[in-house]
Amino acid sequence: MSDQQELRTESGDGLLGRIEVIEAQSLDQRAVRYDQLAEELLSELQRSDHDSLD
Q: What pTM value is reported for the model?
A: 0.64
Chain centroid offset of residue 7 CA: 12
Query: Percentage of the chain surpassing pLDDT 90?
Result: 54
Instruction: Say if CB 22 and CB 31 are below 8 A apart.
Output: no
Higher confidence at residue 31 or residue 9?
31
What are the boundaries of each domain within the chain? 3-53
Instruction: List pLDDT tens digits, range 11-34.
Output: 555 899 999 999 999 999 999 999
